[in-house]
């Protein structure tokens, strides 16, 4: 498990979940930071730093480190640990984007950083992303249009496409459409950082990277659809019954 000092560093420099001094003491402010992070990540909110909380925190920092490396070639160790090198890279990125250079990957910084493709969770720059059919481009897509996946902020916070939409995702939805023979409604596609917060998404949601969609069709057996999605190439994760999702199924891809 990470030391309390490292937990505080990670939670301070990622969305400022921790607002106290870096003192290595697990007091009330630190436990409150655990709770805020757990709530953000849709974990059990108990203020106890356990294995699930640590795994989620490490992955969030790794995503930031990979994004920084992709953007600026900073050659950070992608280890999930905030240190001087990661803080300096965040400050350089903020300076490049005309933001306050405080070394904290907060709302405005992440809004810019989430435009950078991430090899692990965003597909990587230069990825062909041809999908299960081996075909590339929208010419292989029969049932969907790119506009159906546009961010729901309607231009208020982004241009509608804050990242590159994964064709692997669209190909999976194509297969679902063909199997069940019913038109599919995309209830949530791409999201910019601010829209993701409004929608209650986790701070490193794959919706931010064009790698996830929530969808619905008439008469859908949600559990059967999830079971089918698990058989398809490129599948990563699916779930339903989140209170914010109503009748939809969430699917995301590798």
Taken in order 130, 120, 210, 181, the sign of the CA dihedral is: positive
Assess if CATH 3.40.50.2000 describes domain 138-253: no
Which of 89, 76, 81 is CA-nearest to residue 54? 81
What is the per-residue DSSP string for 142-160?
A: SS--GGGG--TTTTSSSSS
Render the burial of 195-214: b for 16+ CB within 10 Å, e for the rest: bbbebebbbbbbbbbbbbbb
- Give the containing element (helix H, strand E) for 167: helix 167-180
| 185-188 and 212-216 beta bridge pairing | antiparallel
Q: Count of alpha carbons within 13 Å of 74, Cβ hemisphere only?
A: 22
Q: Which residues pair with 137 in a beta bridge?
A: none
Domain ranges of the chain: 4-113, 138-253
Pick from 180, 167, 165: nearest CA to 133: 167
The CA distance from 177 to 144, in Å, is 10
First to last CA, the chain: 27
Give domain 4-113's CATH number out of 1.20.1530.20, 1.25.40.10, 3.40.50.720, 1.10.101.10. Answer: 1.10.101.10
Q: Cα dihedral sign for 102, 160, 210, 215?
A: positive
For residues 57 and 10, what is the distance between their CA atoms, to the nearest angstrom? Answer: 7
Average pLDDT, consecutive stretches of 10 residues, N- to C-terminus, the chain (254 residues): 98 96 96 94 93 94 92 93 98 96 93 66 36 56 94 93 91 95 95 91 91 94 94 91 78 92
């Amino acid at each position: 498990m990470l030391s309390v000092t490292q937990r505080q560093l990670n939670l301070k420099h990622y969305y400022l979940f921790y607002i106290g001094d870096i003192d290595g003491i697990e007091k009330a402010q630190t436990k409150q930071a655990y709770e805020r992070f757990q709530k953000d990540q849709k974990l059990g909110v108990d203020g106890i730093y356990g294995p699930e909380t640590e795994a989620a925190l490490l992955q969030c920092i790794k995503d930031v480190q990979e994004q920084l490396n992709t953007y600026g070639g900073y050659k950070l160790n992608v280890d999930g640990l905030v240190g001087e090198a990661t803080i300096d890279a965040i400050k350089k990125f903020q300076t490049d984007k005309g933001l306050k250079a405080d070394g904290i990957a907060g709302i405005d910084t992440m809004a810019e950083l989430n435009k950078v493709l991430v090899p692990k969770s965003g597909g990587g720059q230069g990825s062909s992303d041809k999908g299960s059919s081996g075909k590339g481009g929208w010419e292989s897509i029969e049932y969907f249009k790119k506009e159906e996946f546009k961010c729901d902020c309607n231009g208020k916070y982004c241009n509608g496409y804050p990242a590159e939409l994964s064709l692997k995702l669209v190909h999976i939805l194509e297969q679902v459409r063909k199997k069940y023979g019913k038109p599919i409604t995309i209830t949530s596609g791409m999201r910019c950082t601010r829209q993701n917060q409004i929608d209650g998404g986790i701070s490193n949601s794959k919706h931010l990277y064009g790698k996830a969609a929530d969808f619905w069709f008439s008469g859908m057996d949600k559990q059967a659809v999830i079971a089918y999605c698990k058989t398809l190439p490129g599948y990563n994760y699916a779930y339903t019954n989140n209170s914010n999702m109503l009748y939809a199924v969430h699917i995301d891809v590798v």
